[in-house]
Each structure stands twice: as structure tokens, then as C-alpha cells.
């Protein structure tokens, strides 16, 4: 028996639970169906609220889910965790706290490739 899943833009619909951090160390846990757009909104401070007020821009952790209920449950779980447990989760896969979205939306260039655009 085949199970059908919702499709968006030609891809299986996915949901993301993510953790952002500010330069001062403030953590934010969120959920979205459009991770690239949502992270871009956070980085540009185009969303009024907590992340804009505290300049929380760096993506340090994310997880993908096929079902929105699973993602919502996970978001609630993470929001209920103590700070130390969230930090341990981040450092398990991202010990240097690098911005996982730093290069999203940029063109990829290879060594020796010219910077000017070619037709």
C-alpha cells in the first residue's frame, strides 16, 4: 500500500524545528515549513518580536520532520528544556556554534573561478 505525502514546490513537504542564538548567547527555538525563508527573515530582523529585539540571527541547530504534529511536539519539548540541555544538543552536532545558514542563498565558487558573471 502506498502512502501519499503532501508535496510543495515539487518536493515532499517538510517541517523544521530550529535553534537560533544571539551574539550574547540568547537562545530561540522555532518551527517553520520554509526554513530558508524563515531564517532569512530572522537575519534581516523583518519579524517583530523576541528575535528582533534580542538580535538573534545565528542558526546553530535544526531538525526536519515529515509531519507537522511531530515538529510541533519537538518544538514544545525543546522549549521546555533547561538551557544546559539545549546547549548539549547544539554542541553534539555543532561544537563550534557555527552559523549553519551562513552561506545559504550564495553562489558557490570554486578555486580559480572568476568573480565576474559569465553569460
- Our measurement of the distance from residue 105's CA atom to the centroid of its chain's CA atoms, rounded to an integer in Å, reads 13
Helix (H) or strand (E) holding 29: strand 27-32
Q: What was the pLDDT predicted at 103?
A: 84
In a domain, 99, yes or no: no
In a domain, 106, yes or no: no
Residue 105 has pLDDT above 90, yes or no: no
Find the mean pLDDT for residues 26-44. Answer: 95
In a domain, 28, yes or no: yes
Task: Give residue-wise pLDDT tens across range 60-103.
Answer: 999 999 999 999 999 999 999 999 999 999 999 999 999 999 98
Domain boundaries, position 27: 7-93
Domain of 74, CATH number, reads 3.40.1440.10
In a domain, 108, yes or no: no
Average pLDDT, the chain: 87
Number of domains in the chain: 1
Amino acid at each position: 500500500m502506498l502512502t501519499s505525502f503532501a508535496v510543495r514546490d515539487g518536493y515532499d513537504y517538510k517541517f523544521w524545528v530550529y535553534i537560533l542564538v544571539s551574539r550574547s548567547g540568547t537562545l530561540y527555538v522555532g518551527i517553520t515549513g520554509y526554513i530558508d525563508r524563515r531564517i532569512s527573515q530572522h537575519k534581516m530582523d523583518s519579524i517583530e518580536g523576541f528575535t528582533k529585539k534580542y538580535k538573534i540571527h545565528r542558526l546553530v541547530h535544526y531538525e526536519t520532520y515529515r509531519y507537522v504534529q511531530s515538529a510541533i511536539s519537538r518544538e514544545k519539548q525543546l522549549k521546555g528544556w533547561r538551557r544546559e540541555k539545549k546547549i548539549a544538543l547544539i554542541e553534539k552536532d555543532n561544537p563550534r556554534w557555527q552559523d549553519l545558514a551562513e552561506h545559504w542563498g550564495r553562489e558557490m565558487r570554486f578555486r580559480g573561478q572568476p568573480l565576474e558573471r559569465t553569460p
